[in-house]
């Protein structure tokens, strides 16, 4: 569809809300663009300038300010005609030039099918939005006109543009509250991707609408009469069902076409908030409301600023969906963030609230962008936040927070502040202690309990749903891993240097720099981190530092590397505290506990795994044995460790309870207990208990041994 537009026609459109000097500035931008694009044609054969004129006209329907309209006129000038940004600044001022530059940068790299390119460009878009949200409004209008005129383009390009529109641009329009623009983008994208399905649904809708016209008019008449009887001002409009929305409900909700279309939708627009609630009472007195279908988005607006009352009634043997809102709310529902400029003259408080919400969302995007390791991770987080079904929960002070459906207390903690999320250890839901992983429900009051020095748990990534929480946790874990790998790497290197009779402090800057250069690392800290991660051998780096040797490979086959300083006495052993975090893990095979003689095996890229020195999984060949790290336990460890015990018992009633009681009497905690095998006389019970060392374990085992029915007890090491 191609609109026949002229600049005079646009000027008439603008005279409804702009003064003459501003309209003349828009005209001047048009003539400048016309001259710049002289001789250029669109694929349809029309002069190129018809496109910027149409984009400006779309923004004029949204009643956008004159600078946005000027940027719309000039949005392709920098890219297509070689006119520099400075020239636009001289002609039209810095603000317009910045807007044009922002839109040009978004257009330069069109989203490609490759996910990386798409994500990279999405990052650019968020940057532009953060600087001036009008950049994205011009881009959305540009995309809408391109979608309206897709016809002449080759099939592959049409498919790519339509996919990109449904994936990226329509959700952004929705998140910015621009309902009208969003639904048109969705319908155009749908009809371009699935022309036959679109045609079929469109015909079916027209046919059904014709046959249902009488019922629609009858319901509208009854509603109108009710409002007049009660003296309530309100205009009633029918709501169209959009093709893409019908298709998605059929596809994803498994609803039939007639199920979807047998709902009659109306919107009642009134003058004040109070009258909206009165109208709600009036319609509920006419028809019975369906339970669970009432939503009050006036008291609790959606994240994009949308406000309205929603109710579904059952009357005249059909369901009737009704939305009730004020004129202001209707403008914001249709035009969202664009209403900010539309209402600038009277500074509507509704718009200010909407603006704050959008600013908060864009600020959240920028935080995620800073934390994400790469653009793909970033876009993954953002897509979550583009499609939220909100729940509303309260802070203990009564502040309302909106979160996506399925959000947990950890999401809530990060929504308050990143530091609160990182230090979160527990929560109270409606004043009772709750689980950090349970999904929250609307209306709950959530209180986060924090502890100094607490750190995010990697397990949180399996249940958080917001992009902000996910990116913050990953960022904190990466930082934690870096700090831990540095510390572990330094400890391992010091131990290896001790074996050569050297201390780290005795090495010169020159020695260190030469080894860093030789290992092709950016810095000494990075080299230490690589040792801590298990990607470099501490012994080889120590040898390079001490002897200046060119050691590039581990020992050749059959050659024994004698790693110095690893004697069993623990003279140069690395001390472990049992709370090492991400890079020191305790082997699940032998379950070592404080007091057990232990060794460490480096696991490439993942740090150190600690085994009991009698574990069968420890390498037995001499070459590999030299690469083990001998460890010693720090004193006063209070952490708990898992130990598996095997207890042989004479069968008698209540014996399992007696075992559990014996463990509790010795201050142990049972993690798991089960009866493995039994015959008429004996039961064999396997139990995993938490203890804080060998002495504590001995106490637990002694208590179990004292049970009269216990015949044998052993610690299990796989």
Mean local confidence (pLDDT), 570-596 = 69
Tell me, yes or no, whether 152 and 26 share the same domain.
yes
Residue 122 domain-assigned? Answer: yes
The position carrying tokens 């003259």 is: 345
Report the alpha-carbon angle 54-56-60, nearest 5. 115
Residue 25's pLDDT is what?
93
Residue 184's pLDDT is what?
92
The answer to whether the beta carbons of residues 670 and 660 sit under 8 Å apart is: yes
What angle, rounded to 10 degrees, do the helices at 134-148 and 50-61 form? 120
Tell me, yes or no, whether 137 and 24 share the same domain.
yes
Q: What is the SS3 string spanning 263-330?
A: EEEEEEEECCHHHHHHHHHHHHHHCEECCCCCEECCCCCCCCCCCCEEEEEEECCEEEEEEEEEHHHH
Question: What confidence tier does 212 reach under pLDDT thresholds 50, 70, 90?
Answer: confident
Q: How far is CA 330 from CA 293, 296, 307, in A?
A: 21, 15, 8
Residue 385's pLDDT is what?
54
Tell whether the model's pLDDT for residue 381 goes beyond 80: no
80 is catalytic: yes
Given the residues 34, 46, 80, 367, select the one marked as catalytic.
80
If one counts every other C-beta atom within 10 angstroms of the C-beta of residue 416, the result is 15
Tell me, yes or no, whether 483 and 594 share the same domain.
yes
Question: What confidence tier does 278 reach under pLDDT thresholds 50, 70, 90?
Answer: very high
Tell me, yes or no, whether 493 and 543 share the same domain.
yes
Tell whether the model's pLDDT for residue 573 goes beyond 70: no
Mean local confidence (pLDDT), 140-164 = 88
Residue 1 domain-assigned? Answer: no
The set of residues, in sequence order, having a beta carbon less than 8 Å from that of 457 and lying 6+ positions away, is none
The position carrying tokens 């653009």 is: 375
How large a percentage of the chain has pLDDT more than 90?
18
Question: What confidence tier does 545 reach under pLDDT thresholds 50, 70, 90?
Answer: confident
Residue 329 domain-assigned? Answer: yes
**Which of these three, 579, 594, 626, is where a domain ends?**
626
Tell whether the model's pLDDT for residue 217 goes beyond 60: yes
CATH number, position 447: 3.10.20.30
Tell whether the model's pLDDT for residue 236 goes beyond 90: yes
Residue 284's pLDDT is what?
93
Tell whether the model's pLDDT for residue 128 goes beyond 70: no
Residue 127's pLDDT is what?
59
Please state whether 430 falls in left (phi above 0), alpha (psi between -120 and 50) or beta.
left
Mean local confidence (pLDDT), 437-442 = 87
What is the token pair recorded at 238?
């029918």
Residue 344's pLDDT is what?
44
Residue 28's pLDDT is what?
93
CATH number, position 256: 3.30.460.10
Nearest to residue 657, comparing CAs of 585, 707, 711?
Answer: 707
DSSP β-bridge partners for residue 630: 599
The answer to whether the beta carbons of residues 474 and 373 sit under 8 Å apart is: yes
Tell me, yes or no, whether 245 and 263 share the same domain.
yes
The answer to whether the beta carbons of residues 64 and 338 sit under 8 Å apart is: yes
Residue 517's pLDDT is what?
83
Residue 472 domain-assigned? Answer: no
Tell me, yes or no, whether 583 and 698 share the same domain.
no
Query: What confidence tens digit (pLDDT) does each residue in 656-684 have?
Result: 888 888 988 888 888 888 887 777 788 88
Residue 400's pLDDT is what?
73
What is the token pair recorded at 267?
């919107």
The set of residues, in sequence order, having a beta carbon less than 8 Å from that of 95 and lying 6+ positions away, is 67
Considering only residues 70 and 606, tell me which one the structure prediction assigns the higher pLDDT: 70
Q: How far is CA 35 from CA 25, 86, 98, 147, 593, in A?
A: 16, 17, 21, 25, 80
Residue 375's pLDDT is what?
53
Phi, psi of 348 (to 5 degrees): -55, 130
Tell whether the model's pLDDT for residue 293 goes beyond 70: yes
Residue 615's pLDDT is what?
85
Residue 699's pLDDT is what?
92
Bridge-based pairing state of the strands 424-429 and 390-394: unpaired
d(CA 505, CA 502): 9
Bridge-based pairing state of the strands 574-576 and 629-633: parallel
Mean local confidence (pLDDT), 640-656 = 86
Mean local confidence (pLDDT), 203-214 = 80
The answer to whether the beta carbons of residues 625 and 639 sit under 8 Å apart is: no
Tell me, yes or no, whether 512 and 622 share the same domain.
yes
d(CA 141, CA 156): 22
Please state whether 708 falls in left (phi above 0), alpha (psi between -120 and 50) or beta.
alpha
Q: What is the CA radius of gyration of the chain?
A: 34
Query: What confidence tens digit (pLDDT) does each residue in 93-102 have?
Result: 988 888 888 8
Residue 350's pLDDT is what?
47
Nearest to residue 493, comparing CAs of 460, 529, 445?
Answer: 529
CATH number, position 145: 1.10.3210.10
If one counts every other C-beta atom within 10 angstroms of the C-beta of residue 380, the result is 17
**Which of these three, 177, 196, 215, is where a domain ends?**
196
Phi, psi of 444 (to 5 degrees): -75, 150
Mean local confidence (pLDDT), 49-77 = 90
Q: Strands of 109-189 (E only): list them.
A: none
Mean local confidence (pLDDT), 204-213 = 79
d(CA 23, CA 69): 10
Tell me, yes or no, whether 235 and 87 share the same domain.
no
Residue 619 domain-assigned? Answer: yes
The position carrying tokens 């044995």 is: 625
Question: How many domains does the chain contain in total?
Answer: 5
Bridge-based pairing state of the strands 710-715 and 446-450: unpaired
Residue 18 domain-assigned? Answer: yes
Question: 408 burial class (0-12, 13-18, 19+ CB within 10 angstroms)?
Answer: buried
If one counts every other C-beta atom within 10 angstroms of the C-beta of residue 242, the result is 17
Across all residues in the chain, what is the average pLDDT?
A: 79
d(CA 25, CA 43): 29
Tell me, yes or no, whether 456 and 494 share the same domain.
no
Q: Which of 116-120, 158-162, 550-554 has the lowest mean pLDDT?
A: 550-554
Give the three-class secondary structure for 602.
strand
For residue 58, the number of C-alpha atoms closer than 13 Å in the C-beta half-sphere is 27
Q: Kindly report the pTM of this predicted structure.
A: 0.54
Phi, psi of 295 (to 5 degrees): -130, 130
Burial 71-103, CB ≥16 within 10 A → b, else e = bbbbbbbbeeeebeeeebbeebeeebbbbbbbb
Tell me, yes or no, whether 69 and 171 share the same domain.
yes
**Which of these three, 170, 196, 222, is where a domain ends?**
196
Residue 314 domain-assigned? Answer: yes
The answer to whether the beta carbons of residues 436 and 424 sit under 8 Å apart is: yes
Q: List the domain range (segments joined by +) for residue 215.
A: 202-342
How large a percentage of the chain has pLDDT more than 70?
81
Q: Which of 431-440, 449-458, 628-637 has the lowest mean pLDDT?
A: 628-637
Given the residues 8, 19, 65, 79, select the one marked as catalytic.
79
Please state whether 45 falls in left (phi above 0), alpha (psi between -120 and 50) or beta.
left
The set of residues, in sequence order, having a beta carbon less than 8 Å from that of 285 and lying 6+ positions away, is 226
61 is catalytic: no
Query: What confidence tens digit (pLDDT) does each residue in 320-377 have?
Result: 899 999 988 888 777 776 665 543 444 444 455 555 656 666 666 666 666 655 555 5
Tell me, yes or no, whether 59 and 172 share the same domain.
yes
Query: What confidence tens digit (pLDDT) does each residue in 171-188 have?
Result: 778 777 788 888 999 999
Mean local confidence (pLDDT), 532-547 = 77
The position carrying tokens 């839901």 is: 429
Length of the chain: 718
The set of residues, in sequence order, having a beta carbon less than 8 Å from that of 334 and lying 6+ positions away, is 178, 179, 180
Residue 72's pLDDT is what?
92
Considering only residues 679 and 432, tell me which one the structure prediction assigns the higher pLDDT: 432
Tell me, yes or no, whether 61 and 136 share the same domain.
yes
Q: Which of 117-131, 170-184, 288-302, 678-692 has the lowest mean pLDDT?
A: 117-131
d(CA 712, CA 710): 6
Mean local confidence (pLDDT), 380-406 = 69
Taking the CA atoms of 95, 97, 103 and 105 in sequence, report the sign of the dihedral they define.
negative
d(CA 701, CA 238): 76
Mind giving me the DSSP string for 486-513? Answer: HHHHHHHHHHHHHHTT--GGGS-HHHHH
Residue 493 domain-assigned? Answer: yes
Residue 410's pLDDT is what?
94
Question: What confidence tier does 550 reach under pLDDT thresholds 50, 70, 90?
Answer: very low
Residue 147's pLDDT is what?
93
Q: Which of 116-125, 133-142, 549-558, 566-575 has the lowest mean pLDDT?
A: 549-558
Tell whether the model's pLDDT for residue 443 goes beyond 80: no
Phi, psi of 76 (to 5 degrees): -105, 0
């Amino acid at each position: 569809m191609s609109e026949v537009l002229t600049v005079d026609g646009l000027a008439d459109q603008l005279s409804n809300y702009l003064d003459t000097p501003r309209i003349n500035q828009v005209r001047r931008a048009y003539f400048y663009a016309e001259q710049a694009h002289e001789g250029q044609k669109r694929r349809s054969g029309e002069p190129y300038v018809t496109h910027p004129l149409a984009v400006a006209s779309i923004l004029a329907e949204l009643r956008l300010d004159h600078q946005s309209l000027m940027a719309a006129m000039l949005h392709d000038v920098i890219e297509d005609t070689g006119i520099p940004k400075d020239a636009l600044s001289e002609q039209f001022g810095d603000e317009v030039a910045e807007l044009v530059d922002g839109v040009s940068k978004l257009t330069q790299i069109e989203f490609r099918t490759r996910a990386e390119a798409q994500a990279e460009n999405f990052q650019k878009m968020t940057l532009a939005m953060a600087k001036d949200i009008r950049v994205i409004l011009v881009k959305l209008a540009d995309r809408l006109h391109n979608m309206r005129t897709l016809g002449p383009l080759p099939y592959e390009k049409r498919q790519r543009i339509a996919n990109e529109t449904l994936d990226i641009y329509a959700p952004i329009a929705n998140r910015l509250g621009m309902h009208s623009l969003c639904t048109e983008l969705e319908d155009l994208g749908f009809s371009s991707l699935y022309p036959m399905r679109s045609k079929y649904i469109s015909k079916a809708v027209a046919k059904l609408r014709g046959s249902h016209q009488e019922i629609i008019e009858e319901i509208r008449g009854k509603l109108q009469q009710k409002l007049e009887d009660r003296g309530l001002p309100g205009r009633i409009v029918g709501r169209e069902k959009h093709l893409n929305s019908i298709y998605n409900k059929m596809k994803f909700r498994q609803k039939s076409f007639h199920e979807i279309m047998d709902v009659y939708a109306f919107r009642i627009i009134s003058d004040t908030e109070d009258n909206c609630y009165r109208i709600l009472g009036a319609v509920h007195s006419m028809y019975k409301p369906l339970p669970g279908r009432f939503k009050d988005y006036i008291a609790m607006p959606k994240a994009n600023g949308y406000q309205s009352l929603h109710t579904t009634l059952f009357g005249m043997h059909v369901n009737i969906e009704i939305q009730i809102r004020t004129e202001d709310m209707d403008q914001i529902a249709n035009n969202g963030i664009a209403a900010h400029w539309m209402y600038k003259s009277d500074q509507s408080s509704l718009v200010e609230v909407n603006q704050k919400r959008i600013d908060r969302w864009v600020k959240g995007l920028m935080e995620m962008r800073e934390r994400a390791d790469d653009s793909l991770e970033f876009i993954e987080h953002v897509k979550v936040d583009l499609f939220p079904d909100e729940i509303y929960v309260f802070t203990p002070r009564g502040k309302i927070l909106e979160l996506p459906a399925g959000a947990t207390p950890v999401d809530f903690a990060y929504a308050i502040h990143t530091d609160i999320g990182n230090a979160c250890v527990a929560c109270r839901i409606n004043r009772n202690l709750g689980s950090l992983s349970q999904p929250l429900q609307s209306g709950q009051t959530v209180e986060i309990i924090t502890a100094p020095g607490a750190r995010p748990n990697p397990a949180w990534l399996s249940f958080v749903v917001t992009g902000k929480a996910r990116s913050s946790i990953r960022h904190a874990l990466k930082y934690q891993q870096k700090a831990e790998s540095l510390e572990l790497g330094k400890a391992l290197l010091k131990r290896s240097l001790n074996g050569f009779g050297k201390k780290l402090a005795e090495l010169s800057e020159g020695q260190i720099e030469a080894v860093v250069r030789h290992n092709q690392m950016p810095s000494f800290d990075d080299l230490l981190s690589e040792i801590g991660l298990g990607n470099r051998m501490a012994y080889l780096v120590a040898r390079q530092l001490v002897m200046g040797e060119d050691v590039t490979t581990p020992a050749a086959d059959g050659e024994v590397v004698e790693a110095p300083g690893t004697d069993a006495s623990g003279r140069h052993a690395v001390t472990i505290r049992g709370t090492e975090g991400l890079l020191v893990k305790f082997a699940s095979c032998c379950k070592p506990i404080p007091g057990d003689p232990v060794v460490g095996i480096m696991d490439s890229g993942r740090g150190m795994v600690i085994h009991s020195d009698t574990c069968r999984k420890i390498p037995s060949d001499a070459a590999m044995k030299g690469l083990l790290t001998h460890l010693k336990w720090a004193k006063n460890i209070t952490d708990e460790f898992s130990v598996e015990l095997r207890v042989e018992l004479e069968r008698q009633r209540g014996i399992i309870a007696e075992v559990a009681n014996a463990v509790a009497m010795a201050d142990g905690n049972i993690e798991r207990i089960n009866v493995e095998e039994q015959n008429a006389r004996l039961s064999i019970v396997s139990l995993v208990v938490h203890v804080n060392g060998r002495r504590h374990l001995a106490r637990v085992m002694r208590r179990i041994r004292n049970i009269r029915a216990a015949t044998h007890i052993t610690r299990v090491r796989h």
